[in-house]
Structure 1
C-alpha cells in the first residue's frame, strides 16, 4: 500500500486533537475568529478525511464579536470517556500585550454530530485546555498557565481535577511541568500507558522553532522526567525540510496497535518563507520502544510521506468546486465572529444575499462569507448583483487573511452615485490597518446589471478579472503579491503571532448603516496544479 503525502488536512487546520472511538477517527482543529467554531473531521483509515461538524453553532456557546484577528477558538481537545464525547476549547478575547483575556470551556455530546451542551466555564488562567479521563474514572483538566509578570508569560502546565457532577474544577491546582529551554510551553495532552502518565506539550512558539516535547511520571502530579531526546518532533534544525513549524501534536492508536502522532505544520513558499495556507494538520507514524518512550519513525524531522492504513484518491483534492445556494450555505464556508448569521446573510432566495454591514476587516459584524485556500494555485469566480449609491457601499470578491491583509475587488459607486469597479487592498500595517493608496483608477460600470468577478492565484501572484453580462473575463489591476496573505504577514509583528490562513470569498459593506444587499449567484473554487502542491509519489 503506497504511502500518503502530508498534510492530511490541507489549508488552515491547526492544533489537531485526534480521537478514535471504535473504528472511527476524529480530528478537531482550531477555527480562531471564524464561525461556527471548531472543525471536526472524520476518517475510517487516517488517509481520507471529511468535515462532518462544527459544534459551536449558537450564541450560548460562542460569541466572538470584538475578538481580535487570530483570537477566538484556540486549540480544542476532543475526547471520549466511553459514554460521551467531550470538547474543551479556549475563547481568546485579547491576545497581545501582558494579558491574555480568555475563557476555557467544556461541552459534551452523546453523538459527534450533537446536540452539544451549553458550555461550562472551567477557568481563565491560560490557553490550550485538554481533558484526560483516567482509568480510575476521575477527570483531569490541564492547560497552559499564564503569568503577566513574566516574559514570555508561559510559565508551565497546570493540573486540576474536573468534577462533571458539579460542573466545575475541584481540589488543588498545581503547576506540574515548566518545560524545557525552548520555553513557550503549551498545548498539553495527558495519556496513561503501562503505569506511566505521559505529558505531550508544544514548545518554542508556533513559528520555526516549534516542537513536540514529551515527559512522563508515575504520579499524575509529577515530577515529570523528560524524554531522552526531549523533543520527539521538530523541524527547527531542518530549514529545508518540506514540512516546517512542526509541533502541537496528539497521539492515537489504531485497533491493530500502531501509534500515530498528528501535528500542525506549514509549507512555506517564496524566499521569505511565507505560509499562505496557514498551519495545516499532518500525521507521523510513531512507535513505543523498549524503554517505554514514544519515538517518531524516521524522526524527529517530520516526513512528507507516511504509511497509514488507507490510501487516498487524489482526484478529490484537485476537483473543481462549484457552489450554488439552493440548499443553503455549503459546509466549506464560514463567516467571521457573529453567532447571528441571519444579520449578515440569507439563502432564502436561492442566491447568497449578503446584507451590507461594517467595513471589511471589522472585528464585530461584517458580512463576509468565505472558504479556505487549500491549494497554492487556484481560480475563483462569482457574479454579484449590487446597486450602491455612494463610496460607502461596496461588495465583491476578496482574498482575505485579516483586517490587516486582504485584496478586494469591489462594485461600489462614486459620490455622484455612478457605479464603479474598484480594487481595495490593505497595507499589512499592524496595528494601523490602512488601505493602500493610491487606488488603481476605477472602472466605470453600467448603472445596473450583474458583474462577473474572478481572481487567479499562481503561487505568489494574484490577478483580478471582471466581465459584464455577455462578455468574457478581462484583467483588471496589476499583479499583486499573494504571499502577503500568510501567517508571517498576517498583521502581527512576530511570525508566530498570526494563526489562521488565507480565505477566498464574498463580502458586502454598507457603512452608511442601511444594510444594502448584494446577491451572489454562485461561487467557484478551481484548484490549479502547482509544483509546490503536487501529490504524486
Structure 2
C-alpha cells in the first residue's frame, strides 16, 4: 500500500488534476527557481518531476518565502491552465500578491508567458461551467481594523482575452476557524462544493468544506468539518490545503499538505504532499475514508506502494530537481558545459544575499540522510568560498566551506547562520594542497556533522559540536517559514575578482 507523504520534502500546497490516464500535481516553490514544481503519475503512487512551465520570471530581491504561492491546475477544451500568485512583500498586512495565468496545449508546453489577472488576494483557482470560466481567490484586506483573511471572491475570466470581466461576487467568509484561503470549487450531483484551507498553515491547519445550490451562494458549512485536520498525536502534522481528483474507476482522492514534524514542533522537511481517499456520505458531503476519521493517515490502502531509489545527481545534464534562488541556473553562474561531467559554479554573492546567490540545491526528503559531493576548488583568498550546505533561507544555514587563511593556505571550515547571527563552528582545518576534496553532511537524530575526505573512503569530522537541524525548520526561523531544509552546493566570490568551483556529483542517501 502507498505510504505518505507521496512528494517528500518542501512540496506544499498541492493542486491535483487528472487528464485521461495521467495525473498531475503542482506545488509551490516560493523564492526557489524554476518556479512551480510539476509532477506526473499514472497510478497516483509513483511521481516523476517534469520541466517547470515557467522558465523566465524575475524573482530577484523578493523576501524569503515570498515568490510563487499555490499554483493551481485545470484543464478545459483541450488546454491546460495554471493560475498562480507571485507574492512580492512579507509585511503582514501587505503581501502585494499578483495573480497570473499561463496556458498550454500539453503539460510539456509550450506555455504562454504569464498574464496578470488581479492582486486582491492569493491562492487563485479556476472553475468552468457552461463554457464560462471563473477565477476564484481569497480576498486580502490590508486595513488594520478588518479581518486580513477577508473571504472568497469570484469573477468571470475571459480566457481568450486573458482578462477579468463583469462583477466581483463575494462567496463566503469561510468558517469560524478563520484564516480562510486556497478555495477550490467542484460540482457534484448538481451542487457546488468549495474546499478551503483554514486555520493557518501551522499546527492548526485544516481543510473545510462548504456547498451551495448556486454558484454565487449562499454556501453552507459541512456538518462533517473539518474534512482533514491533524491531531496532536498524529505522525503527519499540519494537514490542510487540499484539492480533489476523481479516478477513472470512480474513487476520489484528496491531495493535501502535511509535515513530518520533529517533537511535534519542528518541520525540518517543510510541508510535503500526501493523499487520502474520500467518499461521499449519505447526506452528500465528502468525508475521509473510512467515515468518521478526520486525521491524515500514513498509509493509503487502495493505492500501490511507491518505488523509491537513491537520489544521485551526476552533473552531465540539468535535472528538474535542481533548484536555484530567484533566477535561472544560467543566471546563477551554473553550467554543465565548461568541464565535461562536472557542474561549474562561478562565484556570486554571499549565502545571505537576496540576489546573485550562486548555489544549486535539492529538497531534504528524509529526516536522516547522508549527502556527499566532490569539490575541485582553488581559492586565492579568504574572500573565496565554495562547499556543501544545509540551507533553509538567507538567514539560516549550515555551511562546510573551502577557502584560505590570511597566508593563502587552503582551509576547510564550518559556519552557522542562525537568524542572521553568524558564528564559526570549531576551528578551520588546514589542507596541504587544495586538490579535490570530498565533503559530506550526515544527519542523524536531528543532528548534523560535516566531514571531509581526500580519497572518498576515509572521512574525518570537521567539527565535534553537533549542529541542530531543528534550526532549519519552518517554526525556528524568524519571519515567514513556508519552504523547508535544502541540501546544496555553492560558490562565493566576495572579492569580485573572479573564481569558480567544480563539483563532480551530489549524492543524497536516505539513512
- The 2-side partners of 1:347 and 1:378 are apart by 26
- The 1-side partners of 2:298 and 2:249 are apart by 23
- The 1-side partners of 2:409 and 2:303 are apart by 60
Structure 1 position 491, deviation (Å): 3.0
User: Which stretch shows the higher mean deviation, 292-301 or 10-19?
Assistant: 292-301
Tell me the residue number matched to 1:499. 482
2:328 corresponds to 1:345: no
Structure 1 position 34, deviation (Å): 0.9
**Structure 1, residues 316-366: CA drift from partner, whole Å, max 9, x if none?**
2xx33332112x222221111113624421110221111111100321111
2:23 corresponds to 1:25: yes
Structure 1 position 251, deviation (Å): 0.5
- Quick one: which of 27, 51, 54 aligns to 2:52? 54
Equivalent runs, 1:250-329 vs 2, <5 Å? 250-270=243-263, 273-298=265-290, 299-313=293-307, 316=308, 319-326=309-316, 328-329=317-318
- The 2-side partners of 1:173 and 1:515 are apart by 54
- The 2-side partners of 1:119 and 1:201 are apart by 25
Structure 1 position 470, deviation (Å): 7.4
Tell me the residue number matched to 2:447. 461
2:356 corresponds to 1:361: no
- Quick one: which of 99, 108, 123 aligns to 1:104? 99
Distance of aligned partners of 1:363 and 1:179 in 2 relative to their CA distance in 1, 3 Å threshold: same
Tell me the residue number matched to 1:201. 196
- Quick one: which of 136, 146, 155 aligns to 1:142? 136
Helix, strand or coil at the partner of 1:489: coil
- The 1-side partners of 2:368 and 2:361 are apart by 17
2:80–2:105 CA contact under 8 A, matched in 1: yes
Helix, strand or coil at the partner of 1:333: coil
State the aligned residue count.
505
Distance of aligned partners of 1:115 and 1:308 in 2 relative to their CA distance in 1, 3 Å threshold: farther
2:480 corresponds to 1:485: no
Tell me the residue number matched to 1:224. 219
Helix, strand or coil at the partner of 1:341: helix
Structure 1 position 127, deviation (Å): 1.0
Helix, strand or coil at the partner of 2:12: coil
Tell me the residue number matched to 2:496. 513
**Structure 1, residues 344-393: CA drift from partner, whole Å, max 9, x if none?**
21110221111111100321111110111111111111111222222222
- The 1-side partners of 2:90 and 2:276 are apart by 31
Helix, strand or coil at the partner of 2:439: strand
Helix, strand or coil at the partner of 1:228: coil
- The 2-side partners of 1:93 and 1:446 are apart by 47
- The 1-side partners of 2:277 and 2:95 are apart by 35
1:278–1:500 CA contact under 8 A, matched in 2: yes
CA RMSD of aligned residues (A): 1.6
- Quick one: which of 117, 125, 130 aligns to 1:122? 117
- The 1-side partners of 2:55 and 2:115 are apart by 16
- Quick one: which of 311, 324, 331 aligns to 1:335? 324
**Structure 1, residues 181-240: CA drift from partner, whole Å, max 9, x if none?**
2111001111112221111110000011101011111111111111112321111xx200
**Structure 1, residues 4-46: CA drift from partner, whole Å, max 9, x if none?**
2111111111100000111111111111111111111111111
Structure 1 position 415, deviation (Å): 3.1
- The 2-side partners of 1:181 and 1:77 are apart by 25
Distance of aligned partners of 1:303 and 1:322 in 2 relative to their CA distance in 1, 3 Å threshold: closer
- The 2-side partners of 1:13 and 1:480 are apart by 25
Gaps of 5+ in 2: none
Helix, strand or coil at the partner of 1:143: strand
- The 1-side partners of 2:491 and 2:181 are apart by 38
2:428 corresponds to 1:475: no
Distance of aligned partners of 1:381 and 1:154 in 2 relative to their CA distance in 1, 3 Å threshold: same
- Quick one: which of 71, 75, 78 aligns to 2:73? 78
**Structure 1, residues 431-480: CA drift from partner, whole Å, max 9, x if none?**
xx1213x5421111234311211110113011110123577211111211
Tell me the residue number matched to 1:38. 36
